[in-house]
Structure 1
Amino acid sequence: MPPLTEHTESGINRSEGTRRWSTGLTHNRIRPAGYPVLSSEETLSQPFQIVHLWAKYDRHAETCHPLIYHLLDVAAVATRLWDLALSPAQKIRLQNLMDLDDKPARQQLALLAGLHDIGKATPAFQNLVDTRHGVPSAAIVNSWLTGKGVDPIHARRLASAIGGHHGRWIAAHETMVVRTGKGHWKKLQVATCDALQQALNVRAIALPSQVEDLNAFAAFLSGLVSVCDWIGSNINYFPYEEREIALQAYYTRDLVQAQQALAGLGWLGRSPDRCQPAFESLFPFPPNALQRAGINVLQKLPDTPRLILIEYPTGGGKTELALYTADWLVNRFGLSGSYIAMPTQATSNQMYGRVSEFLEGRYPEADIQARLIHSQAEQVLDHQPYCPSNQHEGNKSEWDAADWFATGKRALIAPYAVGTIDQALLSVVGAKHHFVRLFGLSHKVIIFDEIHSYDIYMSVIIERLIQWLVALESPMILLSATLSRSARAKLLRAAGASCEDSPYTLRLTRTYGLEIIKAEAACALHST
């Protein structure tokens, strides 16, 4: 399992619909109207209410949004994502990682997401000296979690993930030197975190005990926090509120707004139907020998496989078997969808048409569509009948949904997508918001077509991606016509196997031989 890499924060995120101050010295900026002038010293001489801390300011409308309200906005989005958008497999995995039942896990995830901007409760931000708040957020979250009894190492890693939601995980040395204020500032920060915890009814913090589990949880959490912050910062759904409202009442109202936001941005109505139709009902031909062999093994799978390797000459039906297998796994194990990673833009464009036709036939009554993801996708989609914008003319909510998932780092969050392999590889090379891509790939079936076609450099990154996909419990389907023995061995090792007879791997060859080796005991299943 790859280590949790730490990066220095760079830049700030400008969420849609909001206006934020620039980074750096801002002594000449206009102070938000109606908010008290706080001491510019590190020590706040007199206490005041947490509602007096501001988080966002629209200087054109001259309105502010209190920090505690914004934290609750983002927490509400996390709650509704859990209720309405996360797949069953994702929720079960998170419950197991936190060792919590459904409701406590849901509440704790909302709390951790809500803490993301606590770094704004500092003299530097409140007095417009420096509005960069990722490192202060990580430092305050680290201190607060440690005060709640969380192991210091676990607290630091989780704080790095939460504070890094603007694109880069926070390095430990940064939190050690950042100034977050003294005296009543410290009390104010703790009071804000405590108020958020109380409003969300979280009794105690439960985290994974194993380092590998913590790394997977932190990566998922980072992506979730970024997504929730983007949605919770959209003033079309979360307008600024300057009145003082009881926090519990505000949060109750927030839950309604969060559901409206998810519906308006296209997050709802994407779930598969959990049924498993016959192969011949989805394709205009009966399954061939290879496809029958694969279907036979699928029906006997006791659990989600880590990796399925299909080796067969071109034209033998690998793609159809992969599409059927991915759909079968999604519905059988409650996964999030699928991503098909192709070697080039041209092959991605061709595959996009096939996948779109497959989904249209598979889910005729549902609003489930594939996205095309690569640098020239927009130009290609303008001439495609399957482009969402070509199908929803005049419907603003569907336009909003298509636009929200359009950007590269968000596109992988869409349940079904086809694109170039580099879009997935960006999740493991330290690119900005790489963890959002990991979040998007979590508990999806990832299909790698033509896995034999990559050079040594690309293959090393692919192996790292496979390691992360195993940690995120995302099953993989690898397709190849000419895979060498050494390349096959490296791919299997990346999935946690020391040989071809490996736990939770499945291999289909030209002779239609299939082997599944369970974790507890080996058993061979052969079909003819």
Structure 2
Amino acid sequence: MKVHRFEQLLRSVVLAWGKTDQNGDSTRRGGPAWTPLLAHLLDVAATAGVLWDRHLPPHIRQRLTEAFGAGNERTARQVVMLLAALHDLGKASDCFLGQWQHGPGKSHLKAHAKTWEEQARAAGLPLGDDLAHAYYARHEHITAAALPRLLGCFCPECGGSSARHEGLHDAGALLGGHHGHIPNPETVDRARGAASIKQWGDVHAAIVQVVADAVGLDLGTVAKAVNPVRPSARVAFLYLVYLADWVASDTEFFHFRVHTTPVAHWWQAALREADQAVRARRLTRWQARPVTWEEMWPDTPSPRAFQADGMRLAPAEGQAMIVVESDTGSGKTRLALWMAHHLARTCGYSGLYMALPTRAAGNQVATELRKFLHAVLAPGEVRDMALVHGTAQATDLVHELVDAHQAHGDPLTDLSSTVETATCTDSGQAVLDPWYLRRCLALVAGFGVGTVDQIALAPQGSRHWALRLGALMCKVVIIDEAHAYELFQQNLLSAAVEWLAEGGASLVVLSATLPRSIRNELTSAWRRGLGTTGHDDGTQGPIMVVDHSGRISRDGPSPTMSTPQNS
């Protein structure tokens, strides 16, 4: 694209709106009534980059590097930033842009819509003659249809005659699911009529080029790099897109841009605001520090023999599934939390999630997790801990955690409060930002306790399923009272366990009376996810570890009920 033609296009591209000031946040700041689509895309690209650096654990970055960088992490980061940004590319279409004036919305904004349309047409944005009756398709489906051609696919669907680039089409379909459901091919095909290449192709190409330049990516490398074959890489990518979009849509941190200001200024503001937002939401990996058992559990300064056996059995590296069978009161939960801390240190997990069969049990264990966090977090370190079930917001604990967050400081007026480590207290602190009370976001919080259905349903086809599953793939997952679930739950759990293994998570399963059939099924599911059967060393004991290669080892004496501990 020639320089003069590109500059002409850019003058019109900046007038495609991406979001309007429905909540009045921008107006209260003295800002504009709308922000350009390109500005929002740059916000998302910057946020995806910060989340890559600070939120994603190493095993997730490694899967994305294979799928989107052909093994080169720098390339993968840039490609993922570009793709995440382009999730809303389909908003550059008549059917979306016409919604401001002709669709539902607040009446006081309609006057701004008329002014916007006049400016956009004058600048050369290729709007159709009748926006009120434009051919309709959802904007994310238009993205899925347009993206492969723009990034280097020349198959007949994209207007060429070469072989179909499956990786680019897969990436487009994943982006087409950023509102909750991945579209089928027929839906994507129907969306092509909503933004023809003749009308919108040059605008789309200009948007792609601006974002690529911002992230420092040569567009010629994208087709060579994108090949998301591994299932967990697809989930991880969609998880990152969801999260980057939701963070970058938060008007607490991201200001609307004025379309007359230079695009380069938008990018610098996006980088700054993305960093602030990710820090303020504490979307950073768990930097688990060395902690002794006594420091972790000062009321029981030495582990019991049963717990010490489990500690010795913990793998020195890599993900693992650990099954602990022991009587009630023997200290299983404390051993599981020690294991989670150990695995976070060796694997770099972002946090942990504890699942129990009932809400009441979850509420009870949450108190133990809160004590654990106060002990293992660094002095002054603050982390979010969510209670994850349908009535969580009615519990005293959630109110206490939210109050603690608010007492810790308002991230808008006191950004110093978002630094992970400070020196204001002698222990760590568990809080809860109300942001995590929104639908699906509780599992994204670094630490959580809730019901087992959050795990069992994560890989099922519910809306935003990849956000749930992706969040769990970043963590150590603990399933307590594994014997207590119904048959249908066990079948769903097996599917989830297979996904967690494939996704690089670690799993700790606790039970007082785990039937052999359930233990064998969970073990088989885990090894299927690893893609290996491994070796069983034939040892015996109530604690079983399946390491990252599928090797099984066991240890531990039969526990007794003497000297009960909290479990």
* Range into which the TM-score falls when normalised by the shorter chain: 0.7 to 0.9
* TM-score with structure 1 setting the length: 0.81
Distance 1:335 1:508, change over 3 A: farther
Alpha carbons 1:310, 1:507 under 8 Å: kept: no
**Quick check: 1:165–1:226 contact (8 Å CA) kept in 2?**
yes
One of 200, 203, 227 as aligned partner of 1:188:
203
Residue range with higher mean Cα deviation, 143-152 or 61-70: 143-152
**Cα deviations by residue, 1:342-383 (Å, 9 ceiling, x for unpaired):** 100010001000010111111151112422111111111358
Tell me the distance in 1 between the aligned counterparts of 2:247 and 2:276. 11
Using the aligned pairs only, state the percent identity: 27
Correspondence for 2:460: 429
Matched, 1:140 2:146: yes
In structure 2, the partner of 1:11 is none
| Deviating more after overlay: 458-467 vs 359-368 | 359-368
| Aligned mate of 2:343, from 321, 329, 341 | 329
- Distance in 2 separating the partners of 1:92 and 1:160: 22
**Partner in structure 1 of residue 189 of structure 2:** 176
In structure 2, the gaps of 5 or more residues are 1-8, 100-131, 156-162, 412-416, 419-430, 558-567
Farther-moved stretch of structure 1 (343-352 vs 369-378): 369-378
Give the superposition deviation at 1:67: 1.4
Residue 354 of structure 1: which of 368, 379, 385 is its match? 368
Shift of 1:513: 6.4
Report the counterpart of residue 25 of structure 1 in structure 2: none
**Is 1:50 paired with 2:13?**
yes
For 1:227, the equivalent position in structure 2 comes to: 243
Q: CA RMSD in A?
A: 3.1
Partner of residue 152, structure 1: 165
8 Å Cα contact 2:354/2:480 also seen in 1: yes
Deviations 1:140-180 (A, max 9, x none): 12332343899632222221211211111111111111222
What SS does the aligned partner of 1:147 have? coil
SS in 1 for 2:374: helix
From the superposition, tell whether residues 67 and 302 of structure 1 become closer, same or farther in structure 2 (CA, over 3 Å).
same
Hey, what's the Cα distance between the residues in 2 that align with 1:125 and 1:465? 37
SS of 1:341's partner is strand
Equivalences for residues 250-289 of structure 1 within 5 A: 250-268=266-284, 271-275=286-290, 277-283=291-297, 284-285=299-300, 286-289=302-305
Match of 2:524 in 1: 493
For residue 47 of structure 1, report the CA deviation from its aligned partner. Answer: 10
Partner of residue 94, structure 1: 64
* Structure 2 residue matching 1:409: 3-state secondary structure: coil
Correspondent of 1:416 among 443, 447, 459: 447
Tell me the number of residue pairs that the alignment of Structure 1 and Structure 2 aligns.
473
- Report the equivalent of 2:51: 81
- Residue 384 of structure 1 and its aligned partner are, at CA, apart by 6.5
Q: Taking structure 1 as reference, are residues 505 and 75 closer, same or farther at Cα in structure 2, changes over 3 Å only?
A: farther
Question: Residue 78 of structure 2 aligns to which amino acid in structure 1?
Answer: Q
Letter in 1 for 2:16: L
**Cα distance change of structure 1 residues 504 and 54 upon mapping to structure 2, 3 Å threshold:** farther
CA change 1:383–1:57 in 2 (3 A) is closer
Secondary structure (helix, strand or coil) at the match of 1:326 reads: helix
Aligned match of 2:334: 320
Q: Deviations over 1:323-354 (max 9, x none)?
A: 10001101121111100011000100010000
Q: Aligned partners of 2:392 and 2:383: how far apart in 1?
A: 19
Range 245-254 or range 372-381, more displaced = 245-254
SS in 2 for 1:266: coil
Instruction: Determine which of 89, 94, 98 is the counterpart of 1:123.
Output: 94
- Are 1:439 and 2:470 an aligned pair? yes
Instruction: Output one character per residue of 1:9-65: Cα deviation in whole Å (capped at 9) or x when no partner.
Output: xxxxxxxxxxxxxxxxxxxxxxxxxxxxxxxxxxxxx99732232212237756221
Which residue of structure 2 aligns with residue 3 of structure 1?
A: none
Q: Deviations over 1:179-232 (max 9, x none)?
A: 222414122212221221122111212556573x1x222211212112211121
1:242 corresponds in structure 2 to 258
- Segment of structure 1 superposing worse, 127-136 or 422-431: 127-136
The answer as to whether partners of 2:170 and 2:228 remain within 8 angstroms in 1 is: no
Q: What is the CA–CA distance in structure 2 between the aligned matches of 1:315 and 1:239, rounded to whole Å?
A: 52
User: Is 1:459 the equivalent of 2:490?
Assistant: yes
SS at match of 1:316: coil
| 1:217-255 deviation digits (Å, cap 9, x = unpaired) | 221121211221112122232222223344344212210
CA contact (8 A) 2:323 2:545 kept: no
Distance 2:402 2:361 in 1: 20
Equivalent-residue separation in structure 2 for 1:147 and 1:54 (angstroms): 27
Secondary structure (helix, strand or coil) at the match of 2:138 reads coil
Aligned residue type for 1:331: R
State the SS of the aligned residue for 1:396: coil
8 Å CA contact retained: 1:85, 1:267: yes
1:51-83, Cα deviation, whole Å (9 max, x unpaired): 232212237756221111111011111111122
Single out whichever of 460-469 and 244-253 deviates more from structure 2: 244-253
Question: Whole-Å Cα distance in 1 between the matches of residues 529 and 437 of structure 2?
Answer: 39
Equivalent-residue separation in structure 2 for 1:318 and 1:507 (angstroms): 23
Deviation for aligned residue 1:516: 5.5
Q: Counterpart of 1:168 in structure 2: which amino acid? A: H
Q: Which moved more, 1:422-431 or 1:46-55?
A: 46-55
Distance in 2 (CA, whole Å) between partners of 1:451 and 1:461 is 13
SS at match of 2:178: coil
The 2-side partners of 1:407 and 1:448 are apart by 24
Distance 2:453 2:37 in 1: 37
Native 8 Å contact 1:507 1:514 kept in 2: no
Q: For 1:495, what is the secondary structure of its paired residue?
A: helix
Structure 2 CA distance for partners of 1:122 and 1:524, relative to 1, 3 Å: closer
Structure 2 CA distance for partners of 1:319 and 1:326, relative to 1, 3 Å? same
- Report matched runs for 1:499-514 at 5 Å: 502-503=533-534, 511=541
Deviation at 1:127, TM superposition (A): 3.0
> SS at the partner of 2:382?
coil
Correspondence for 1:344: 358
Indicate how the Cα distance of structure 1 residues 507 and 193 shifts in structure 2: closer, same or farther if over 3 A, else same.
farther
- Offset at 1:102? 3.6
* Aligned residue among 532, 549, 554 for 1:519: 549
Q: Cα 1:371–1:524, aligned 2, differ >3 Å: closer, same or farther?
A: closer
Quickly say closer, same or farther: Cα 1:106–1:453, change in 2 above 3 A.
same
TM-superposed CA distance for 1:497, in Å, is 5.1
State the shift of 1:505 in Å.
8.9
Counterpart of 2:388 in structure 1 is 373
Contact 1:222 1:436 in 2 (8 A): yes
* Structure in which a larger fraction of residues adopt helix: 2
What SS does the corresponding residue of 2:534 show, helix, strand or coil?
coil
In structure 2, what is the Cα distance between the partners aligned to 1:419 and 1:312?
Answer: 22
Alignment partner of 2:35: what SS?
strand
Q: Give the corresponding residue for 1:403.
A: 434
CA contact (8 A) 1:445 1:474 kept: yes
Query: Aligned equivalents of 1:428 and 1:166: distance in 2?
Result: 16
Conservation of the 8 A alpha-carbon contact between 1:120 and 1:131: no
**Counterparts of 1:505 and 1:423, CA distance in 2:** 31
